[in-house]
Structure 1
Amino acid sequence: MLMTTNEPAPAAVSDGMTEGESGALYRLMTWLSPSFPVGAFSYSSGIEWAVEAGDITDAASLRGWLAAMLTDGSGFCDSVLLAQSHRAVSDQDHAALSEVAELAAALAPSRERQLETTTQGRAFIDIARAAWSSPGLDAIIAACGGPIVYPVAVGLVSAAHRIRLAPSLHAFLHAVVSNWISAGSRLIPLGQTDSQRVLADLEPDVTATARRAAAASLDDLGSATFRADLASLRHETQYTRLFRS
């Protein structure tokens, strides 16, 4: 189920989903679609440098790089931050939300990564608030007290709309991985079929990462993808660039 259960269950629609569940699915598909204008297409999360350096040369090496980023790097860390912000909003704990937002903004390993996550977070908040207003959302945003990075933005907006954590995490990770693959497909380059094979191969990693993040605490935050962090740092001085990170 996509929605919380502390309200009376709405009537079921013809396909077996409730109206609330259909609405939650519709919003997640919209907010985390490549067409949602947060500017994700302009960032590669350091993949551009990894391609130039020869670390990523084909579908297999792209899959290995992304699996590491997903399970032991920014994918897992961002998912933990999403989960913690979602819980803070669900519990109406503004102090905890402020703590998560401040920590998340401080964790970016490079200037470009900071730009990437804060710019997307700001765009996500602005567009979601303008098109899908929710009672109390302005107060929730104000409680963050500073820049709101992308995973925190997704977590707090999803919670404000009473969308469950599990589907929010899966949709977020699917969007992140899809954007990474899109960047890789343009840089290597890869054909559409190979790109979809990489996405299919990463499905178990997405599922496992979402499950780990949902059970994790802020104390579990940590990355073991030093090469990917170096890629985001070295991209800042890369001579020829298609992407902003």
Structure 2
Amino acid sequence: MSNQSLLPLLQLANPTLPVGGYNYSEGIESLVETGKIYSLQTLEDWLVQELRFGAIRLEAAVMVRAHRLTQAEDLGGLRRWNWWLSAARETEELRSQSLQMGRSLLRLFLELQTNAPETRLIAPPESIAALEEECHFAIAFGMVSAHWQIELQSALLGYLHSWATNLVSAGVKLIPLGQTAGQQLIWNLQPGIEQAREEILTLQDDDLSSCSWGLALASMTHETQYSRLFRS
């Protein structure tokens, strides 16, 4: 990758990007509460299974489509996949998380764009703003990465790595684990992330499915959990 695309990718996939990803545990908090996740190994097992079969595969596949549709300047297609992802979210908590993060990313993108007016937007600002209030994070990530000319395979890798980093960080706080253990886990997840990327890039529309009932149950439990560190 050239520095022109690598640096924007590093910024977009940074865990400190102010879109609120660090506020969510995606069910891990309730799984720790109930004793389903209690160690480095059990957290790794959960994340590996999510990469292989879970909802993150759907989200990442939609991000891929958003990247391609943005390059094609197909705003109608972006809206259709945005609605599709709303229907695919199994709980209100997960849907609200996705929409909040997507809204925050688009607002950040438009703010950054005002400071670089010489850079042409792939889609007009008013069209992007029209999606702003009801845009899922996967859609926003695909749009922004395409506009910043980040190659699709690299954007997908960054999206998956950002997801894994946020959840490992949640596990480090909740179990709790040491920071070194958290870094070891992120290192251990590299083969799974790379394999997921290769598989997701080949998925056709009719192949988009997941086995995420465990995540859905954990999310519903988290909504009513008495004591929480993470947002619901």
What TM-score comes out, normalization by structure 1 length? 0.87
Give how far 1:88 is off: 1.0
TM-superposed deviation, 1:142: 5.3
- Indicate yes or no: 2:21 matched with 1:34: no
Deviations 1:164-185 (A, max 9, x none): 1101000111111000000000
Which residue in 1 is equivalent to 2:24? 43
Query: Are residue 205 (structure 1) and residue 185 (structure 2) matched?
Result: no
Aligned to 1:15: none
Q: Is residue 2:201 matched to residue 1:221?
A: no
Structure 2 gaps, min length 5: 115-119
For 1:64 and 1:33, the matched residues in 2 are separated by 24
Q: Decide which of 100, 105, 108 is 1:124's aligned counterpart.
A: 105
* Aligned amino acid, residue 41 of structure 2: A
> Do the aligned partners of 1:41 and 1:179 also contact (CA within 8 Å) in 2?
yes
5+ long unaligned stretches in structure 1 = 2-20
User: How much has 1:94 moved relative to structure 2?
Assistant: 2.4
Counterpart residue identity of residue 57, structure 2: F
| RMSD of aligned Cα (Å) | 1.7
Question: Does the C-alpha gap of structure 1 residues 65 and 185 become closer, same or farther in structure 2, counting only changes over 3 Å?
Answer: same
Give the share of equivalent positions with the same residue, in percent: 32
Matched position secondary structure for 1:162: coil
- Residue 181 of structure 2 corresponds to which residue in structure 1? 194
Report if the CA contact (8 A) 1:67-1:205 is conserved: yes
Matches within 5 A, 1:3-14: none
Q: 1:78 aligns with which of 53, 59, 68?
A: 59
Q: CA deviation at 1:144?
A: 4.7
Q: 1:106 to 1:225 in 2, by over 3 A?
A: closer
Tell me by how many angstroms 1:71 deviates: 2.0
Are 2:8 and 2:148, in contact at CA under 8 Å, matched by a contact in 1? no
Q: How much has 1:226 moved relative to structure 2?
A: 1.4
Deviates more, 1:163-172 or 1:132-141: 132-141
* 1:183 maps to 2:170: yes
Of stretches 160-169 and 138-147 in structure 1, the one that deviates more from structure 2 is: 138-147
Q: CA deviation at 1:28?
A: 1.1
Within 2, Cα distance between the matches of 1:34 and 1:132? Answer: 21
Choose which of 137, 142, 146 in structure 2 pairs with 1:150. Answer: 137
**Are the equivalent residues in 2 in contact too, given 1:76–1:209 (CA < 8 A)?**
yes
Match of 2:89 among 108, 116, 123: 108
Q: How many residues end up aligned between the 2 structures? A: 226
**1:143 Cα deviation after fit:** 6.8
Q: Is the 8 A contact 1:102 1:146 kept in 2?
A: no
Counterpart AA for 1:121: G
